[in-house]
């Protein structure tokens, strides 16, 4: 029976460390740390995420700046706002809540954020730095997953690591972070033949595809660490991951639940990136 990796507990520890460091930085240097969050339109899920980010800012001692724009905001208006935030010394991090309304160009918006304030680590400059292992920021979800794996005490070096999913936000950067820790990494996706065979080889299995209960217990190696990034709502209204938790927990040594696993870590790592951005700007080691 697997040990449950408690994302809420690990996230609380990370946020407490950030709050302590923020207080120390404020006391010593007299600086304020600010995160600007831009939300376009009224998508209910996006609103929940933005509210959670504001709460996290309060918890760690940051100033939160919210810019709630109407759904008919033009590309030019959005880019003008980002340009203003890029130049604002009170803003250390800029986050544009995705997805954006369909008439807006997400790629152009991401590219317009200053790499020094890109606390989501989506800008091509930051993506390139992650590839060569010389990064300031890490994408929040993969960085949170690395914290969760570290909390188990399992060493990544030399382990067979399988990432199911190849998105720019999770799958690709996740594989690079595991590689930087000397894992042997396989990336699986919708065109992979015999997914089950690949999964069964994994000492560390990260599943991020958005397909409910895609990975079942018979696809998991005995004693594997299983990280479930999926967040799917079933017809009965219940949330579930990309892994069939009930069968998987019989085989895994450690497993994340859904909810309460990876989710809380994403916002904690966003706070960490914002603190890092402030320290870099002010030359604080």
> For 182-196, what is the HEC assignment?
CCEEEEECCCCCCHH
| Catalytic residue (choose from 97, 181, 228, 279) | 97
Contacts of 147 (CB under 8 A, 6+ apart): 10, 14, 265, 268, 269
Given 15, 53, 251, 279, the catalytic residue: 53
Catalytic choice (15, 117, 120, 181): 120
**244 is annotated as an active-site residue:** no
For the purposes of burial, counting CB atoms within 10 Å of the CB of 107, is it exposed (0-12), middle (13-18) or buried (19 or more)? exposed
The reply to whether 97 belongs to the active site is: yes
Q: Encoding tokens for residue 192?
A: 């992979």
Decide if 87 is catalytic: no
Q: Are 172 and 195 in contact (CB under 8 A)?
A: no
Count the Cβ atoms, other than its own, within 10 Å of residue 252. Answer: 26
How many CB atoms are closer than 10 A to CB 206? 30
Beta-carbon contacts of residue 132 (< 8 Å; ≥ 6 apart): none
List active site positions. Answer: 53, 97, 120
């Amino acid at each position: 029976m697997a040990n449950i990796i408690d994302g809420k507990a690990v996230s609380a520890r990370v946020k407490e460390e950030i709050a302590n460091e923020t207080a120390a930085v404020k006391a010593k240097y007299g600086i304020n740390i600010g995160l600007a969050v831009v939300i376009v339109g009224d998508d209910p899920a996006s609103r929940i995420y933005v509210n959670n980010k504001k709460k996290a800012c309060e918890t760690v001692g940051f100033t939160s700046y919210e810019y709630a724009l109407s759904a008919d905001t033009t590309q030019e208006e959005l880019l003008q706002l980002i340009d203003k935030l890029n130049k604002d010394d009170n803003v250390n991090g800029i986050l544009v809540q995705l997805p954006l309304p369909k008439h807006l160009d997400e790629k152009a918006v991401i590219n317009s954020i200053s790499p020094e304030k890109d606390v989501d680590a989506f800008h091509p400059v930051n993506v390139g730095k992650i590839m060569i292992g010389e990064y300031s920021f890490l994408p929040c979800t993969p960085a949170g997953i690395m914290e969760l794996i570290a909390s188990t005490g399992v060493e990544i070096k030399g382990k067979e690591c399988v990432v199911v999913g190849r998105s720019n936000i999770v799958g690709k950067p996740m594989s690079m972070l595991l590689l930087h820790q000397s894992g042997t990494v396989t990336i699986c996706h919708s065109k992979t033949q015999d997914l089950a065979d690949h999964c069964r080889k994994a000492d560390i299995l990260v599943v991020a595809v958005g397909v409910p209960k895609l990975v079942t217990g018979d696809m998991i190696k005995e004693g594997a660490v299983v990280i479930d990034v999926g967040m799917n709502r079933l017809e009965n209204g219940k949330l579930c991951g990309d892994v069939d938790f009930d069968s998987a927990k019989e085989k895994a040594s450690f497993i994340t639940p859904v909810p309460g696993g990876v989710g809380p870590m994403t916002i904690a790592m966003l706070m960490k990136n914002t603190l890092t951005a402030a320290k870099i700007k002010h030359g604080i080691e």
